[in-house]
Amino acid sequence: MRYLPHTDDEIQVMFARVGVPSIDALFEPVPEQHRLGRALDLEPALDEPRLMQHLSALADANEGARMLSFLGGGMYAHHVPPAVDQLLQRSEFYTAYTPYQAELSQGTLQAIFEFQTIVCELLGTDVANASMYDAASAAAEAVLMARRIKRRSNVVLSGALHPETIETIRTYVRNLDTDTTIALAAVGSDGRTDWDDVRKRVTERTAAVVVGYPNFFGCVEDLDAARSAADGGGALLITATAEPYALSMLRPPGACGADICVGEGQALAAPPQYGGPGVGLFGASTAFVRQMPGRLVGRTVDSDGEPGYVLTLSTREQHIRRERATSNICTNHGLIALAMGIRTAMLGRRGFEQAGQRCVDAAQYLRAALENLEGFEVPYAAPVFNELVVRSQREDASAVLRRAMARGVIAGIDLGRFDRAWRRDLLVAVTELHTRADLDRLLTALAP
């Protein structure tokens, strides 16, 4: 809603109501020596068109504002139509918070219900909650949930899981008890999890095995092998999907036997902005619904037989006894979840698949070209969706990135920031927004 200032007459009515003659009288309790005593030294006010021009000029001055970007690593730039923002700005939707008097907000609850339905279709699960903060916190909550279900304390994480997700999980479980161990499984030569190593690490004390789908290197994991490895110790299988568009081409993880499926919905909701905001996706089997974190919106009928929506499940400590809470998540990311629901509904199944196919086509074109680019190689042979690792044979990735940026291209993420063993590796992501000319420009920028 636009800001509409009060008229002079309205201001005088307000003064009369509170019993003061002017705005200055409201500040009389502030000692004189602490008042400014002069007008603020501000530049003249700008009208709206000039203000927008000024802000655009400031934005253009930012380094990288006009650069061609191939960043990914958990946040992806896909097309989000202006219609999404327009619908978000409707007054009945424009809140980032789930209302406490939830049943009075039927529109918000219905929107969340539809979001849950979409997440169930994407992940292939029976139920989904009303969203979480982001993929990393959703993965950590999934680990806590698995510990409660299995009554075990140990977890095996794939070494190809996003490093920041690994650190988030470690932070969550660090002080739970003295018996907890987090085992990190090896990564095979093809860029996927070494499932033989996972089998060695899974024991009767293992609550869950956690794997990326696709993983941090963009490689598509074998979930049949993951399921088999988890079953060897009676553990649950948890998948984490940072790129939701990948599910337009891949089998849903729930359909592949995953017990708990988490992910990040940002790519379907908003452009990446300083690393956020995100919307954590969380789905599971109905057998585990009582152990799910966050909120769950359900559909019912009222006393007149009319459909209605209610908070069926609220598991945080503010709603039930603290010691019985399954999560202390403060709220779901309501606004960004709504944006994802709107965007996904606008795409439809066919549009979702078409966008995913364009991502795959761009990745395959780029992969073939990189394999023939002098001084570079693609080290991992596993299939990918839209993201892949590129290795420099001559220099560190940081030097490659500096050269590319001087040519107007952000060529990807320097993996050396996560592990010195990866210092020559770049993580490059493409989406349906990248044209063939964009990909050729990247290849030119990478060349010595």
Cβ distance 138 to 262 under 8 Å?
yes
Cβ distance 69 to 430 under 8 Å?
no
- CATH (residue range 82-343): 3.40.640.10
Q: How many CB atoms are closer than 10 A to CB 172?
A: 16
Quick one: how far is CA 130 from the chain centroid?
A: 14
State the amino acid at position 167 in one-letter form: E
- Residue 317 CA to residue 332 CA, distance in Å, equals 14
Instruction: Look at residue 319 in the predicted model and tell me its pLDDT.
Output: 59
Instruction: Look at residue 96 in the predicted model and tell me its pLDDT.
Output: 55
Instruction: Look at residue 321 in the predicted model and tell me its pLDDT.
Output: 58
State the amino acid at position 323 in one-letter form: E
Residue-wise DSSP of 282-342: EEE-GGGGGG--SEEEEEEE-TTS-EEEEEEEE-BTTTS-GGG-SB------HHHHHHHHH
154: which residues sit within 8 A by CB, 6+ positions away? Answer: 179, 180, 181, 182, 183, 203, 205, 206, 207
What is the chain's pLDDT, residue by residue, as a tens digit (448 residues)?
455 678 889 999 999 999 999 988 999 999 989 988 888 888 888 888 888 888 888 887 876 667 899 999 999 999 999 999 999 888 777 665 666 666 677 888 888 899 999 999 999 999 999 899 899 999 999 999 999 999 999 999 999 999 999 999 999 998 887 678 899 999 999 999 999 999 999 999 999 999 999 999 999 999 999 999 999 999 999 999 999 999 999 999 999 999 999 999 999 999 998 777 899 999 999 999 989 988 888 999 988 998 988 888 776 655 555 667 777 665 668 889 999 999 999 999 999 999 999 999 999 999 999 999 999 999 999 999 999 999 999 999 999 999 999 999 999 999 999 999 999 999 999 999 999 999 999 999 999 8
Structure tokens at 345: 């509904």
Domain 68-80+349-446 CATH (choose: 3.40.50.150, 3.40.50.2300, 3.40.190.10, 3.90.1150.10): 3.90.1150.10
Instruction: Look at residue 152 in the predicted model and tell me its pLDDT.
Output: 94
- Residue 383 CA to residue 100 CA, distance in Å, equals 45
Residue among 213, 290, 219 at smallest CA distance from 256: 213
User: Is omega for the bond preceding 163 within 30 degrees of 0, making it cis?
Assistant: no
- Residue 338 CA to residue 277 CA, distance in Å, equals 13
- Residue 116 CA to residue 426 CA, distance in Å, equals 35
Same fold, 68-80+349-446 and 82-343: no
Instruction: Look at residue 392 in the predicted model and tell me its pLDDT.
Output: 97
Instruction: Look at residue 1 in the predicted model and tell me its pLDDT.
Output: 40
This prediction's pTM: 0.85
> Using the 8-state DSSP alphabet, how is residue 436 labeled?
H
Quote the strand ranges of 21-100, DSSP E. Answer: 68-69
Cβ distance 249 to 385 under 8 Å?
yes
- Would you say how long the chain is, in residues? 448
Domain positions in the chain: 68-80+349-446, 82-343
- Residue 180 CA to residue 207 CA, distance in Å, equals 10
Q: How many CB atoms are closer than 10 A to CB 158?
A: 30
